[in-house]
Amino acid sequence: MVDTITEAVRKQYEAYSYPPPIEDAESFLRKWGPLTCDPKFAGIQLWPEGRPRQDLRILCAGCGSSQAPLIALNNPDCTVLGIDLSETSLGHSKRLRDRHRLANLELRQMSLLDVAALKRSFDLILCTGVLHHLPDPDAGLKALADVLDPSGSMAIMLYGKAGRAGIYLVQDILRRLGAGPNAEGLGMARELLKFIPPHHYLISTTGKLPNDLADDAGIVDMLLHPQDRAYSVPEIMAFVEAAGLIFSGWSDNALYCADRFLSGEMLERVLALPAAEQWAVIDNLTVLNDRHDFFLRKPQSAGFLMRFDTDECLSYVPHVRSGTRLAGDINSLVLTRTSLQGEVVIPISRSEALLLERADGKKSISEILSHSVFAGFEPGQRNSFARAVCGRMWRSGHVLFGRSGT
C-alpha cells in the first residue's frame, strides 16, 4: 500500500516531470560533460582503492527524466537500472533509450523502498535529489544500503538547509495561501514572485531569482512540493550513520573549505576542529549550499575519509582534478578551477607547485618526495611539508587522492 505522501509525490512528477526532459543525450553530454556522479567522472572519489569491476551494475534510484540514459550512454560497459515513481519521467527516459539504442538500460516504475524485491545488488547506486522527498528518508537510505554490494559506492544529493532558507519561507507563504502543485498553485506562485523584495533570502548572490523558477516544473519542484526537507551538515552525518554507512567525501570539497572563507586566527581555530565540524561551520557561514552532493560506502568496504594529520597519508596517490590550472606569475602562483560556486582560486608556493607538477595519478606522495628536487629538505620537514600541502589541496578539492595501485 502506497502512503498518501508518496502518492502525492508520484502525481506531482507525473504532471510536472523534473528535471526538464532533454531531447538528445549525446548533445547534452557534449555540451555539459558527464554528470558529477558518473563513474567516468567521479571514479577516484567513488573508489579511492580502485574500481571493483569494469562492468558495474548501476542503480539510478529516482532516475527522473534523463539521469539513467545519460549514465548508460556514457558507460556502455555497465548495466544501468533506472527506477522511478513517475511514468511521465520514465517515458522521457524510454524515449532517450530508444533514440540512442541503449541495450544496457532497463527502466522500471517502482518505489526505491521496494528495491529489495528485485533480489539484485549493485556496485554503484545514484540517488540524487530524491531521498529528501520521501516521507521517511531514513527508510529510503536503508533500503538502498541493503542492495549495495559490500565493495560498492553510493552518490547521494540532498537539499542543503542553509542555502535553501529563502525557499522554505516562500513555500510557507504558498502553503498558507492554499497553493498546491497544480495550475492554480502555479498562478499564485508566479504572482507572489513579483513581490519578492531584492533583499529576500530567495534571491541569489547574482541578485536574481533561482534559474529553476523560469518554468512550471521548476516552480512546482522548488516552491509547491508536497514533501521536501533539507539537511545541515551534522544532519547528513547523523543520517548516514543511522543507515550503518560511512561518509567517504563530498563531490566538491571547495564548497566546505575553511581556507577559502577564513584566514588568520579564525582559520586556525576552525582547522583545529574535526573535519565534519569544519564543514558545518563553512556551510553555516557561506549559506551558499542549497544542495549537498556526497559519497557513501559500507563499513566493510575499503572506503575511508582522507586524513593528512599523520604520515600514513604519504601512501596516497594524488590526482589533480580535471579542469584545475596553474595560473599567475612565478611570484604569485595560484591554482584555479570552476566549481558550482564559480572560480575557486588558492595561492600556491613554488615548492608546492613542484610537488603538484609531479602528481601523475600513479605515484604516491612519498614516491614524489623521493625526487631530487626535494633533496634539500630534512626528511621530517619534507613529510610535514607534503602533509600540509596535500591536506590543503584536498580541502580545496583541487587534488583528489586514491590509494597506491589505483
Ligand X SMILES: C[S@@+](CC[C@H](N)C(=O)[O-])C[C@H]1O[C@@H](n2cnc3c(N)ncnc32)[C@H](O)[C@@H]1O
Residues contributing to the site for ligand X (CB under 6 A): 6, 9, 13, 18-19, 62-64, 67, 83-86, 89, 111-113, 128-130, 133-134, 221
Indicate the residue among 45 and 67 with the shorter CB distance to ligand X. 67
Q: In whole angstroms, how close is the CB of 283 to ligand X at the nearest point? A: 21
Q: In whole angstroms, how close is the CB of 19 to ligand X at the nearest point? A: 5
Indicate the residue among 133 and 398 with the shorter CB distance to ligand X. 133
DSSP 162: T
Give the DSSP H or E segment for 84: strand 79-84
**Sheet of 325-329, strands arranged across:** 325-329, 332-339, 342-347
Indicate the residue among 67 and 278 with the shorter CB distance to ligand X. 67
Q: HSE-up of 88 (CA within 13 Å, CB side)?
A: 14
Q: In whole angstroms, how close is the CB of 82 to ligand X at the nearest point? A: 9
Indicate the residue among 15 and 246 with the shorter CB distance to ligand X. 15
Q: What share of the chain is helix, strand, coil (3-state, %, to 5)?
A: 45, 20, 35
Closest CA to 160 of 55, 57, 235, 265: 235
Indicate the residue among 39 and 64 with the shorter CB distance to ligand X. 64
Burial class (CB in 10 A: 0-12, 13-18, 19+), 312: exposed
DSSP 334: E
Which ranges in 113-256 belong to alpha helices (H)? 137-146, 165-176, 183-193, 216-223, 233-242
Indicate the residue among 57 and 291 with the shorter CB distance to ligand X. 291
Dist CA 274 CA 285 (whole Å): 17
Q: In whole angstroms, how close is the CB of 148 to ligand X at the nearest point? A: 16
Q: In whole angstroms, how close is the CB of 296 to ligand X at the nearest point? A: 16
Task: Kindly write down the DSSP assignment for every residue of 257-292, as one continuous string.
Answer: -HHHH--HHHHHHHHTS-HHHHHHHHHHHH---SEE
Indicate the residue among 89 and 153 with the shorter CB distance to ligand X. 89
DSSP SS3 for 376? coil
Q: In whole angstroms, how close is the CB of 89 to ligand X at the nearest point? A: 4
Q: Give how far the C-alpha of residue 35 lies from the chain's centroid of Cα atoms, to the nearest Å.
A: 10
Dist CA 8 CA 91 (whole Å): 19
User: In the bound complex, which residue of the shown chain has the CB atom lying closest to ligand X?
Assistant: 64
Cell 504572482, located at residue: 191
Q: In whole angstroms, how close is the CB of 226 to ligand X at the nearest point? A: 11
Q: Give how far the C-alpha of residue 359 lies from the chain's centroid of Cα atoms, to the nearest Å.
A: 24
Indicate the residue among 13 and 247 with the shorter CB distance to ligand X. 13
Q: In whole angstroms, how close is the CB of 307 to ligand X at the nearest point? A: 31
